[in-house]
Structure 1
Amino acid sequence: MIFSRRSRAGRHARADEPRATATLSPAEKRRQQREAMLAELNLTDEFGDAPSAAPAVSVKAPEPVLDSGPYDFAEAPDGERVDLGSLLIPGIDGIEIRLQAGEDGAIQQIVLAHGSNALQLGAFAAPRSGGLWDEVRAEIRKSLFDDGVGAEETPGRWGMELRARLRTQNGFDDLRFIGIDGPRWMVRAVFQGPAAVDPALGGPLNECLAGLVVRRDDQARPTREALPLNLPAQAEVQGGPQPEEPAFEQVPRRKPSPRPRRD
């Protein structure tokens, strides 16, 4: 298992920073439009407060597989895991853990990579009543719909999923959004690569999501606030050139809602 850590400087600078060049090529314009759309999806922490206005799809949500995680820390089975604070990642050979940190050194994003697939993970505070993923899924779908991108709701291993295909300068990017509601927390997972089209191709990344453990503290937090993450003391962080990252790693953070709900 390999760790790599990145800041927001250089190639991963915020998408909303001004460009030095006055004239942009058509490819660069398309790239910026795509980044703006991904920023509107807000894949890093909050999802926004807009109600859903996308056409309704009458599909009954399936029941998640009961013998599979993510697990709450109090009920998790034994196993070797990498402790990142609120998330404990199963230790599986061949998985690269990419951590993106802010200027203050705090971890803001986790991406697991294996071959041509990537899996972004996030854990958020949720109300005791549950059901946050239904709200979030509708908001993501609306945001995609408003930008002219179709999104399909499909039943999957962890319940109702959302799938979308984004046009890029290099072709298409497929994304598969998954949400799992737990006791006062919600895990959001985003697959990119072949596993976004065919879940069976997820391989070890599926195992990581199935064995994931969420450790929610007792602190009162606004609904949808990202649960804190930290770098494990024993981790050896790689330096030097890094492989190209999934597109959703370049999404900037959005300011939190001025009136957050509390669970």
Structure 2
Amino acid sequence: MGLFGFGKKKSKKEAEPAGSVDEDKAAAEAANTAAKAESAETVLAEPSGEYVGRGDERGPWDVNDEDVPDYDDYLDLGAYYLPFLQGIELRIKASRATQQVLGSTITYGASSLEIEAFAAPKTMGLWDDVRADLLEANKNASEAEGVFGTELKLPVSVKGGKTVNTRIVGVDGPRWMLRGIFSGKAAVDPDSPETEALNKFFADIVVERGEEPLAPRDLIPMHPPVAPAERRAAKAAAEAEAQEGGKEHFKDIPDNKPKGPLSQDQTTEVKTTLSRGPMFSEVR
């Protein structure tokens, strides 16, 4: 059957009356004209920038989502929990002056992904405004439709006179926005296995906004990485202490850095900077 359901053509046109042939031809031409008009309308229509999957069939997730994945084995950074991906390298960005953790960078093969979580208003998302600011501040930036809705393509100049092509995505959640900056193959080759892996990694992140009052666009507070084993040990110790009638269950996050690598495939280091840098700077 044809695309529009016109049915099979007769094998012998001479068996049909002349008037019937002319009517069929006219009907087919009218259908083709309508199909072309419909196709043109589809192509010319405004693309939708709405990312409809978050919290329903895919992430990034919020800790309070009904279908949030089990993140007990994720790495805890305070503002968000990172899933495990074999073969990645994790770097932590921190302020030299205050040692405050600002974000994290995942390196995977020839690609990298910078991750930051921001506070957002209760009644509206933040990504549309942030994207508009980035477009206004960077004449070389352009919008494109991607797996996370409307994304930005932004060439960034780095030391040595080189230009790095980046792909910036933003996903709005309840009172938060998670931003990812992809570079390397994950920024320019949508068919690369690295792109697929890092897209999935970003979609599997679980965000914890917390109840602390924060202004829109403020970074959600983070802390040095806490490995799953450390988190479980602290929880077990607190439960044991509570059963013994000791102190109330503590909620403070340990501020010590984890000892040694997370696994044979993951390492953690702290990169101190005086400023957040051009690839993860916030335009206000």
Give the alignment's TM-score, normalised by structure 1: 0.64
2:118 maps to which residue? Answer: 124
Cα offset, 1:249, TM superposition: 6.7
In the alignment, is residue 175 of structure 1 matched against residue 166 of structure 2?
Answer: yes
Given that 2:103 and 2:115 are in contact with CA atoms closer than 8 Å, whether structure 1 keeps it comes out as yes
2:143 maps to which residue? Answer: 153
Change (3 A) 1:236 1:170: farther
Given that 1:165 and 1:174 are in contact with CA atoms closer than 8 Å, whether structure 2 keeps it comes out as yes
Q: Percent identity?
A: 31
> After superposition, what is the alpha-carbon deviation per residue over 1:12-34, rounded to whole angstroms, capped at 9, x for unaligned?
xxxxxxxxxxxxxxxxxxxxxxx
Secondary structure of the equivalent of 2:153?
strand
Aligned equivalent of 1:78, options 49, 55, 70: 70
1:203 maps to which residue? Answer: 196
> After superposition, what is the alpha-carbon deviation per residue over 1:185-228, rounded to whole angstroms, capped at 9, x for unaligned?
00011101111112342133222101000001112111110001
1:87 maps to which residue? Answer: 80
More helix by share: 2
AA at the equivalent of 1:232:
P
AA at the equivalent of 1:86:
A
Cα offset, 1:237, TM superposition: 5.4
AA at the equivalent of 2:138:
L
2:222 maps to which residue? Answer: 229
AA at the equivalent of 2:70:
D
In the alignment, is residue 144 of structure 1 matched against residue 134 of structure 2?
Answer: no
Change (3 A) 1:114 1:143: same
Cα offset, 1:167, TM superposition: 5.1
1:33 maps to which residue? Answer: none
Change (3 A) 1:177 1:71: same
Secondary structure of the equivalent of 1:199?
coil
Given that 2:92 and 2:105 are in contact with CA atoms closer than 8 Å, whether structure 1 keeps it comes out as yes
1:8-87 equivalent positions in 2, closer than 5 A = 59-65=47-53, 66-75=56-65, 76-79=68-71, 80-87=73-80
The count of aligned residue pairs is 189
Change (3 A) 1:253 1:94: closer
Given that 1:95 and 1:204 are in contact with CA atoms closer than 8 Å, whether structure 2 keeps it comes out as no
Deviates more, 1:86-95 or 1:162-171: 162-171
Aligned counterparts of 1:211 and 1:187: Cα–Cα separation in 2: 12
Cα offset, 1:250, TM superposition: 4.1
Instruction: Mark the structure with the bigger radius of gyration.
Output: 2
Change (3 A) 1:115 1:190: same
Secondary structure of the equivalent of 1:203?
helix
Aligned counterparts of 1:60 and 1:199: Cα–Cα separation in 2: 19
Secondary structure of the equivalent of 2:64?
helix
2:129 maps to which residue? Answer: 135
AA at the equivalent of 1:67:
E
Aligned counterparts of 2:214 and 2:283: Cα–Cα separation in 1: 13
Change (3 A) 1:189 1:253: closer
Structure 1 unaligned runs (5+)?
1-57, 258-263
Cα offset, 1:253, TM superposition: 8.8
Given that 1:152 and 1:162 are in contact with CA atoms closer than 8 Å, whether structure 2 keeps it comes out as yes
